[in-house]
Chains A and B, each alone.
Chain A
């Protein structure tokens, strides 16, 4: 049944006079405690390895960059390694950084997620690199900690707001809303017309994150009402529950849910099915990030022409602005041995050649963060609408780029609000508790 000889050899080498497993356990425990982490380092075989997430958007952009770079530098070989997205991916990035097992470069979010990587201990400071000069200040704010700068932007500016069905708006004679009340009036009109769900929500398998948009994309409006919100929030002076403008995001979600504006199958629909429902005209509004446009283009390119975009409306029609997300960035871990090759690639990414390569090889869904980079004229309507917010200067970053404090349970909390399990007020205070854990974990002052 089993080969006994090799096993016997193993057994014969062991020490006699061990008295019991308990004794072994004690010995083993002290041995285990004495051990420290060891580092293996990234690829040392001449190829440049880059870890990226497995989303369509990142894949397109990185492949375009790699193709253009290796064409200009035929002696360099670059390999893209995929990882899952979401919190599972966050976890992989954290553990690989911690074990010194990270490839030469990796793509990851900017903002608060970056701060959670303990960048001063794990990443190389790029502040002194000349190619960082052309990176816009807006982006630098999202990848810096103290005086150090860690990332080079890949991709386009992202807006968080409402993707909507242009045909339905035309048919029903609706106008893009600039206040929450107008938005609700539009929803009512759509509901009265029948046949379409006014608001699409998708809480199905692995799609709970989509429920956060009402809260996260409302930051422009929060900042309009409370200009010092981000600082006060980080310092534990203001919170969602005790700041009416901030709690509004939770209330809005409760309002649309209670008014019966949601699609019937919101509880089981997935993100991709939600996008398909929007494209098919089954639902009219889908609060979402504009990165979804890449996804739509990949599955149904023609649908892109029928989809528009507006910012999540607040209270002031004259100040209807957009909450924006910075794209992710490439980071250089301290464990990388051949930093020269990695930095050369980073210099290419942070150049107009880099932008042009991205424009040529991937969907253009917004402006770049490299000075001198331009986007083509003939962009889809939603991208043009996104661009207009930037052109008129009506943008503000999402909270996660202004404060390192972001709780991990927001998506479950907003799902509960949208599903009618929890009230908005309750949800806001629960989220404040969730956030507290994160702040303490980061060792912030005042928590």
Chain B
């Protein structure tokens, strides 16, 4: 939708349809249809069943009732919201600040951009394990460093009220590079004349940021929010590598609940979790896309 502005306007050429054969859709369509669409549709059936080694039994809305009544399943739901909103909010703020900073006149700009971006490419599980060690309440590096300043560091991953937030912070650490990059692309694309004109008018750099950069960053912000929400609401790898949803159920999200129910052999309940996650993501994304689409006309 918000694709290149250079897109050629479609010209109707009646005689030429066979040059762009529709069967080009077929191979991709088969793979996508069988392995993605079909299971997604099937999940809406299985979510209403009790499903195990010996077969399925239709049980109506029982699985969904469980999701909203059992405290530890419901907690996963709440945590998913918190995690998604927290990570994408922080990525927007930090990404924008970093982008503005990394496009200003500073030394070692290339190095700094690389350093900020690199964690994006590293194995999530590796990052998770590393930070689990660094965030150990006793001999973890983070708390040892805080101790140097006389601060008694908390149990980042073991304190029930902190665990989810700590994982979210690591997620931001790993993902802020991508947000920064998207913002940098946005900042670079702002015509220099705008800034020149503002400078001539005597605008301070803070004013230029507020009145030129920020308003023009709205498309980039939309991109960052969409991307990080999609990632954040579905997030599994990092949480599984760091806390496995613990302590207890305090950092469970829907994706980890789905995995746990699958492991426990509650396949129907696990599929219901998928449907719930589907609905959550859709509830966030559909209005967001609608809003974006209203502004930028699709080709």
Chain A residues at the B interface, C-beta cutoff of 8 Å: 10-11, 14-21, 23-29, 31-33, 87-88, 90-91, 94, 97-98, 116-118, 121-122, 203, 205-206, 208, 264-265, 267-268, 408-409, 412-413, 415-416, 419, 421-422, 430, 433-434, 437-438, 440-443
Contact = CB atoms under 8 A, between A and B. Distances in A.
Contacts of A264: 138
Contacts of B200: none
B268 to A, nearest CB: 8
Given A25-B29, A32-B34, A419-B247, A268 B138 contact: yes
Nearest to A11: B27
B231 interface: no
Interface in B8-56: 21-30, 32-34, 37-38, 41-42, 50, 52-54
B260 interface: yes
A412 B263 contact: no
Given A21-B33, A25-B37, 6 more contacts: A21-B25, A27-B33, A203-B247, A264-B138, A409-B72, A440-B50
Contacts of B170: none
Contact of B248 (A87, A88, A422, A440): A422
B131 interface: no
B10 to A, nearest CB: 17
A24 B33 contact: yes
27 contacts: A16-B21, A18-B25, A19-B22, A25-B29, A25-B32, A26-B33, A28-B37, A29-B38, A32-B38, A32-B42, A94-B265, A116-B265, A118-B52, A122-B53, A203-B158, A205-B132, A208-B244, A265-B137, A267-B158, A267-B159, A408-B264, A409-B249, A409-B260, A416-B249, A419-B160, A421-B160, A441-B265
B269 interface: yes
A205 B21 CA distance: 54
Contacts of A121: 53-54
Given A11-B27, A430-B71, A408 B247 contact: no
B33 A16 contact: no
Interface string B119-147: 00000000000001000111000000000
Given A29-B37, A409-B72, A430-B71, A267 B247 contact: yes
A14 B26 contact: yes
Contacts of B53: 94, 97-98, 117-118, 121-122
Given A28-B37, A118-B52, A267 B26 contact: no
A121 B34 CA distance: 29
B64 to A, nearest CB: 14
Considering residues B29, B50, B66, which has the most beta carbons from chain A within 10 angstroms of its beta carbon?
B29
A211 B3 CA distance: 53
A28 B23 contact: no
Contact of B260 (A20, A31, A408, A415): A408
A430 B246 contact: no
A20 B137 CA distance: 55
Contact of A24 (B26, B136, B155): B26
A298 B218 CA distance: 61
Considering residues B28, B42, B247, B249, which has the most beta carbons from chain A within 10 angstroms of its beta carbon?
B247
A98 B66 CA distance: 26
Contacts of A20: 22, 25, 29
B250 interface: yes
B137 A118 contact: no
A437 B66 contact: yes
Contacts of B246: 203, 208, 412, 415
Contacts of B90: none
A11 B23 CA distance: 8
A323 B268 CA distance: 34
A24 B30 contact: yes
Given A16-B21, A24-B30, A268-B157, A421 B38 contact: no
B186 interface: no
